[in-house]
Amino acid sequence: MKNTDMKMHVRGRSLFIDDIPTPANLLHAVLFTSPVAKGTIKRLDVAAARKAKNVAAVFTHLDVPGKNQIGHIIEDQPFLAEDELMYIGQPIALVVAETRRAARAACKLIELEVEPGEPVFDPREAYRRGLIHGKKRIQVSGDTEQAFKECRHVIEGSTASGPQEHYYFETHRALALPVEDDTLKVIASSQSPGAYHHHIAEILDIPQHKIELEIRRMGGAFGGKESTAVWVVAPAFAARLLDRPVKLILDRNDDIATSGKRHAYVFDYKIGLDAEGHILAYEVDFYQQAGGCADISLPVLGRSFLHSTSAYNIPNVKITAVSCKTNVPPNNAFRGFGVPQAVFSMEAALFHAAEETGLDLEEIKFKNLLRDGDTLPYGMRLEQTDGVRCWETLDKRVDIKKKLEECEQFNREHDDRKRAAAVQPVCFGISFTQTTLNQAGCLVNIYLDGSVAVSTGAVEMGQGVYSKIALIAADALGIPNHRVRMEATNTTRVPNASPTSASTGADLNGMATQYACRELVERLKAFAITRFKHDNPRDISIQDGEVHLMSARTGYTWEELIRDAYSARVDLSCHAFYATPGVYLDPVKEKGRPYAYYAYGASLTEVEVDCLRGTYEILGIDIVHDVGKSLSPEIDRGQIEGGVIQGIGWATIEQIRYGDDGRMLTAVNSYKIPDLKFVPKRFNIHILENASNPYAVCNSKAVGEPPYIHGIGSYFAILRALRSVRKDKPAPSLPLTPEKVFMYLHG
């Protein structure tokens, strides 16, 4: 497509916030933050900082004209701390100066006295002390107590998964510009135009129509820019109070130290199987490392809760989930949104069960895969499941049994190196579990020359959602792709937009776009029949930019049609709205249909471990993934590749460390993410054929998050290789870093 983000990225022509020319009177904002993980402010003196050279202002919570609150779900997160400090990096004051250097220097002049408290960093300990966000959630399906009595094998264990840094290219930043009529324009790197728009208005105590929030694109987000609004609210707040443009940018280390991560979890599980390997019962307790404020932790925990059984049919289930209030920065959304943690726990329980019983792990998995007619623990009955078909297609392509046998043969012949493979199935629900968010609007404008502009609430962050929506619009209008342009996401064109997350960006906004375009086509067809003196609009169609009558070309072009329709005073603009039908979840009974549909997949990951050094190599990964009828195979393939590599990173080399005082020890020079050399040389992706999906636009399926789950297979492949050497130690927690591998083998 002409002028898509992809082509502009390659040419270096895409504009990000730092590329926008700024006024000469621009100010720079820097946050003064908490140096302790828990405490109470006894004295805060900003007088010296206010008098510092080139400083325009120093703001505290006393200067906030509206509600000093940016809590996303629960109002427990002050914009600027008032008295209680809950984590290192919590904003206390906002320094605004002529330069960032001056603002940083002024921060050092702020005097702060804190009465320290006793921080808690362990989720179990927080739970024992009653430090939780929201309430404990319990889901029961069947009777696990009775089922365990009937099981041939009952296995119990514990495991844990660690946090993960988003490491987007573009750190948190925003530019706020006062404009005419006492209004404010904010250009942000944010996934949540609707929510952030609302937060800015509340903080400033002004109506939302006084604020224009625009998001052209982001240099990555992965969920990390969905909920914590402080870095967008702060420059908007300062710009309004000072009536000058204000910009805030986090450098990489500040971003890592103060922003939320993927939630770490601790799990206790109990699983029961019969003699043939059918899973009869499963119980799991989720302890979520939420951080000092609730932020978006409760919805993340909810999605873990709803994916506790992963891709398997288990008739008797008891799930307990609790969000633990710990003194680290509030953790937030990350690609997968709690699902990877739940899947890891399930897979760990199955791996443990296979070891204890001697049953074949792959046979257990395949035997228990979800099939049509199965019912999930929350009462949703499945149809059009493709999990088994994905597994069988994978088996035909790679011969799973043969691959496992080849690894065993290699291990018999080598003492210093060991190989192993793991099969990872995927079942990922698509929709916001907060039903309200399953809505989207779209504005389509057709101009006199036949060009088309589309505005939606979807935010482009590198995932190709603009390109997909433009393709949907062109297809619905029957015109060439180059005639369609996507406008920047802007609250003045599409208000109250849901966040671009949960893999719903193309689903929701694409459907709203299709609705708007179809309405415009109906108007144009009703006009066109008058030109051809025909009485049935159904006989008119628009294909490849030309009007067809009774399926025959007429020579009447799209451009001529638009020009004549305008002359006849036909409305060439349309706003449409879409709300996902039939989704709901009873919060009391924990039953319902929270997802419109599911995405499926299966993959085989093969690894080789150097038993002397503890290092390993991902030899290859073969994937079969279900994307329905793809909107763009090129984009979908790229999303699968990116998701898998990011999942492998979480499962293997990405490790974050905190000090005993809660301070982030990991910085940009010590955090390892997968690079090109880490990507497996054999990386085969097969899009499941003959797949469809009546519950999403153009029969497609979401593809942003589900492929991430394939990456978890790398952990279990490495673990299986380690178990071929020794089995006398408990399995390490995730991530399974080379250091952990070395200590497992030699420590």
Q: How far apart are CA 565 and CA 648, in angstroms?
A: 54
User: What integer pLDDT is reported at residue 689 of this predicted model?
Assistant: 96
- Kindly give the interhelix angle for 558-567 and 505-531, rounded to the nearest 10 degrees: 70
Q: Does position 1 have pLDDT exceeding 50, yes or no?
A: no
Q: Is the CB of residue 287 less than 8 Å from the CB of residue 127?
A: yes
Q: How far apart are CA 540 and CA 524, in angstroms?
A: 9
Q: Does position 5 have pLDDT exceeding 90, yes or no?
A: no
Residue 525 pLDDT level (bands cut at 50, 70, 90) = very high
Report the half-sphere exposure of 171 (CA within 13 A, side-chain side).
Answer: 14
Q: Is the CB of residue 394 less than 8 Å from the CB of residue 602?
A: yes
The three-state secondary structure class of 622 is: strand
Residue 2 pLDDT level (bands cut at 50, 70, 90) = very low
Q: How far apart are CA 649 and CA 643, in angstroms?
A: 10
Tell me whether residue 689 is exposed, middle or buried, using C-beta atoms within 10 angstroms of its C-beta: 0 to 12, 13 to 18, 19 or more.
exposed
Structure-block tokens of residue 437: 């968010």
Other CB atoms within a 10 A radius of the CB of residue 76 amount to: 17
Q: What is the mean pLDDT of residues 438-454?
A: 98
Q: What's the Cα-to-Cα distance from 67 to each of 75, 243, 571, 644, rounded to whole Å?
A: 10, 20, 42, 41
The three-state secondary structure class of 173 is: strand
- pLDDT tens, position by position, 24-65: 999 999 999 999 999 999 999 999 999 999 999 999 999 999
In a domain, 208, yes or no: yes
User: What integer pLDDT is reported at residue 308 of this predicted model?
Assistant: 98
CATH number at residue 481: 3.30.365.10
In a domain, 599, yes or no: no
Question: Which one has a higher pLDDT value, 740 or 14?
Answer: 740
Q: How far apart are CA 584 and CA 431, in angstroms?
A: 10
Last residue of a domain, one of 230, 258, 286: 258
Q: What's the Cα-to-Cα distance from 107 to each of 59, 560, 562, rounded to whole Å?
A: 11, 63, 59
User: What integer pLDDT is reported at residue 3 of this predicted model?
Assistant: 44
In a domain, 501, yes or no: yes
Percent of the chain with pLDDT over 70: 99
Last residue of a domain, one of 564, 579, 594: 579
Structure-block tokens of residue 35: 């140096």
- Quick one: DSSP state of residue 83? S
CATH number at residue 49: 3.90.1170.50
Alpha helices by DSSP H, 269-360: 297-306, 339-357
Q: How far apart are CA 260 and CA 248, in angstroms?
A: 18
Q: How far apart are CA 375 and CA 377, in angstroms?
A: 7
Q: In sequence order, what are the residues at sequence separation of 6 or more whose Cβ sits closer than 8 angstroms to the Cβ of residue 694?
A: none
Q: In sequence order, what are the residues at sequence separation of 6 or more whose Cβ sits closer than 8 angstroms to the Cβ of residue 94?
A: 29, 30, 31, 32, 58, 59, 60, 80, 234, 237, 238
Q: How far apart are CA 670 and CA 573, in angstroms?
A: 52
Other CB atoms within a 10 A radius of the CB of residue 589 amount to: 10
Q: In sequence order, what are the residues at sequence separation of 6 or more whose Cβ sits closer than 8 angstroms to the Cβ of residue 488?
A: 214, 215, 216, 217
In a domain, 738, yes or no: no
Task: Write out the residue range of the structural domain in which residue 100 sits.
Answer: 5-118+167-258
In a domain, 226, yes or no: yes
Cα torsion through 703, 672, 604, 631, rounded to 10: 20
> Of 242, 321, 313, 327, nearest to 282 (Cα)?
313
Residue 534 pLDDT level (bands cut at 50, 70, 90) = confident
In a domain, 24, yes or no: yes
Structure-block tokens of residue 173: 């930043």
Cis peptide bond upstream of 707, omega within 30: no
Domain tally, the chain: 2
Residue 377 pLDDT level (bands cut at 50, 70, 90) = very high
Q: What is the CA radius of gyration of the chain?
A: 27
The DSSP bridge partners found for residue 452 are 446, 484
- pLDDT tens, position by position, 614-659: 999 999 999 999 999 999 999 999 999 999 999 999 999 999 999 9
pTM value? Answer: 0.96
In a domain, 187, yes or no: yes
What 412-419 contacts at long range (C-beta under 8 Å, 24+ apart), as own/partner pairs, is 415/611, 416/610, 416/611, 416/612, 417/608, 417/609, 417/610, 417/611, 418/608, 418/609, 418/611, 418/721, 418/722, 418/724, 418/725, 419/606, 419/607, 419/608, 419/609, 419/619, 419/721
Q: What is the mean pLDDT of residues 187-192?
A: 97
> Of 603, 622, 607, nearest to 411 (Cα)?
607
Q: How far apart are CA 328 and CA 261, in angstroms?
A: 10
In a domain, 588, yes or no: no
Q: How far apart are CA 76 and CA 61, in angstroms?
A: 14
Q: In sequence order, what are the residues at sequence separation of 6 or more whose Cβ sits closer than 8 angstroms to the Cβ of residue 728?
A: none
Catalytic sites, residue numbers: 705
> Of 548, 554, 558, nearest to 483 (Cα)?
558
Residue 4 pLDDT level (bands cut at 50, 70, 90) = low
Last residue of a domain, one of 579, 604, 632: 579
Q: What is the b/e burial string over 18-39, where b = at least 16 CB atoms within 10 angstroms of the residue's CB?
A: eeeeeeeebbbbbbbbbebbbb
Residue 150 pLDDT level (bands cut at 50, 70, 90) = very high
The DSSP bridge partners found for residue 188 are 174
User: What integer pLDDT is reported at residue 531 of this predicted model?
Assistant: 87
Question: Which one has a higher pLDDT value, 533 or 375?
Answer: 375
Pairing of strands 265-273, 279-291: antiparallel
Report the half-sphere exposure of 439 (CA within 13 A, side-chain side).
Answer: 11
The three-state secondary structure class of 323 is: strand
Other CB atoms within a 10 A radius of the CB of residue 68 amount to: 19
Q: What is the mean pLDDT of residues 378-393?
A: 97
Alpha helices by DSSP H, 98-192: 100-107, 123-128, 144-150
Where are the strands (E) in 265-315, listed by range? 265-273, 279-291
